[in-house]
């Protein structure tokens, strides 16, 4: 069963505006004049050593467990016999 044509047009217009916004942001983004890229592993290592790193990790694990608990068993109730 297909959705109504008005819904498809609205989705297409929304996707077009999203793509236009993405292109605008990437076009206006400033470029670096330094030809050598930064050492990304050093930057990520410094970020991981900050005091907020373990807090973010704990929050991510907590949210993951919460999603698993809330969605557990929901897929089994939709049987197609």
Instruction: Give the tens place of pLDDT for each residue, 1-29.
Output: 777 888 889 999 999 999 999 999 888 87
Given a contact cutoff of 8 angstroms between Cβ atoms, the answer to whether 56 and 48 are in contact is no
Instruction: Say how far apart CA 59 and CA 72 lie, in whole Å.
Output: 20
Distances (CA, A) of 7 to 1, 2, 10, 13: 13, 10, 5, 10
pTM of the full structure: 0.36
CA dihedral 60, 63, 65, 70 (to 10 degrees): -160
Which 8-state DSSP code applies to residue 56?
H
Query: Rg (Cα) of the chain, in Å, rounded?
Result: 22
pLDDT in tens, 29-41: 776 666 666 677 7
């Amino acid at each position: 069963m297909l959705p109504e044509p008005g819904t498809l047009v609205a989705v297409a217009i929304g996707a077009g505006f999203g793509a236009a916004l993405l292109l605008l942001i990437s076009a206006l983004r400033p470029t670096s004049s330094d030809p050598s890229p930064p050492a990304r592993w050093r930057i990520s290592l410094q970020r991981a050593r900050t005091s907020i790193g373990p807090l973010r990790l704990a929050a991510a694990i907590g949210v993951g467990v919460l999603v698993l608990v809330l969605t557990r068993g929901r897929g089994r109730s939709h049987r197609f016999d």
